[in-house]
Amino acid sequence: MRIRIIKTRKPPEQNIDEEIEWLCSSLGFCEQIDKDRTAAAIFKRLLESTHEGEPLRSDDIAEKIGKSRGAVVNHLNKLINAGLIVRRGTRYELRESNLHNTINEMHRDMERMFQDMEEISRQIDEQILRKKGI
């Protein structure tokens, strides 16, 4: 799993498309080279399908947003690697039952990773101090 957080300015007004783009940008998916906002369109479609209880195939997503299957699969793989979505068989959906729960679970993932890093860093410090006889 690879989670990347980028500090970006939240949209000034409530607008679902801008908020989805902000979330994608904050997680590093809406990059400047993505001029036609393919990542945000894919993510929005997955959000809708998860709420409808209908996971989607990559072909379905490609058809609905008017992009090639290859482009869609590329973005889907990034979303999977970040822990936002999962693949079940040939279908894709949010990792949890809704976006809020998905973000909360990602937060818990990061907390667990930081706990492990803190533990290892403490052990490293102790080992270095023992070697120096301190």
pLDDT along the chain (134 residues), means of 10: 86 90 84 75 93 94 94 92 92 94 93 96 94 80
According to the model, what pLDDT value does residue 133 have?
78
Structure tokens that stand for 23 in this block = 């979330």
* pLDDT for res 29: 77
Q: What is the pLDDT of residue 36?
A: 76
Give how far Cα 27 sits from Cα of 8, 31, 86, 103, 121, Å: 10, 10, 16, 11, 26
Q: Give the model's pLDDT for residue 134.
A: 67
Quick check: is 31 in a domain? yes
The total number of structural domains in the chain stands at 1
Residue 70: inside a domain: yes
Residue 110 lies in a domain: yes
Residue 57 vs residues 4, 66, 77, 102, 109: alpha-carbon distances, Å = 25, 14, 13, 20, 26
107 part of a folded domain: yes
Q: Rounded to two decimals, what is the model's pTM?
A: 0.80
Residue 3: inside a domain? no
Residue 10 lies in a domain: no
Whether 5 is covered by a domain: the verdict is no
CATH number, domain with residue 40: 1.10.10.10
C-alpha 71/C-alpha 115 separation (Å) is 36
Cα 45 to Cα 41: distance, rounded to the nearest angstrom: 6
Confirm whether 123 is domain-assigned. Answer: yes
Residue 80 sits in which domain range?
Answer: 16-132
